[in-house]
Amino acid sequence: MRTLAAFTLLLLAGCTSSIGQEGSDRGTEEDAAQRTEAYAPAGVSVDIPPGMDAEAAALQVCWEGDCRPVDVVLAPATEVDESSCEDTVPEGACSARVRKTGGFYGFAGISDLPESPVRVTLTVVDGAGKELVHHTLEATPQPVYPNGPTGDVAGPQLGLEVAADGSVTTRR
């Protein structure tokens, strides 16, 4: 009887230890789907260059005869400065500093954004409400693959880049 109880405990311990691990049949598909949704929602991103004193941005996105206004929350754009590593071995410690570029970025989630042509109008204003950018273009949102080309599809997304002269293009 003790042998049967010990065997059952070992069997249960072995089954639960593989849940969610790579190569396991349990949890990985669900975990991957959650990562995809968490890191690649459908919507439109906006990149504004350094030197443009942007305070707020808004989009109007239209498809199939329906238009909707969408606010874009802007945040300061950053980039990584040079990094340093104390050691070259994998266990070594590295550090990197992030610095503001002077530009801005933002994202507007649009859960039902289609993978078909849309008309997008981007308006960017400064702190006094002065219009810095007002540009309309047509583009097709593209699906994204946040877990690599063989992973699940997410999105679709459309990326807009504002140039210093106020023109707007889609990100490739």
Sorted by where each begins, the domain ranges of the chain are: 1-39, 42-170
Residue 67's pLDDT is what?
97
CB 123 within 8 A of CB 145: no
Residue 32's pLDDT is what?
52
Long-range (24+ apart) CB contacts under 8 A made by 8-13 are none
Residue 22's pLDDT is what?
47
Residue 122's pLDDT is what?
98
Residue 136's pLDDT is what?
97
Spatial separation of the C-alpha atoms in residues 47 and 126, rounded to whole Å: 15
CB 62 within 8 A of CB 70: no
Residue of 77, 19, 83, 81 whose CA lies nearest to 46: 77
Preceding amide of 156 cis, omega within 30:
yes
83 HSE (CA, 13 A, CB side): 12
| Cross-strand pairs, 138 | 119
**Cβ-count burial 70-98 (b if 16+ within 10 Å, e if not):** bebebeebeeeeeeeeeeeeeeeeeeeee
Residue 94's pLDDT is what?
80
Residue 121's pLDDT is what?
98
- Gap between the terminal Cα atoms of the chain: 66
Spatial separation of the C-alpha atoms in residues 14 and 27, rounded to whole Å: 15
Residue 25's pLDDT is what?
43
Dihedral sign from CA coordinates of 159, 165, 167, 169:
negative
Which stretches of the chain drop beneath a pLDDT of 70? 1-39, 172
| Cross-strand pairs, 124 | 57, 133
pTM over 0.75: no
Spatial separation of the C-alpha atoms in residues 170 and 32, rounded to whole Å: 28
Q: For residue range 120-151, what is the model confidence (pLDDT) as tens digits?
A: 999 999 999 999 999 999 999 999 888 888 87
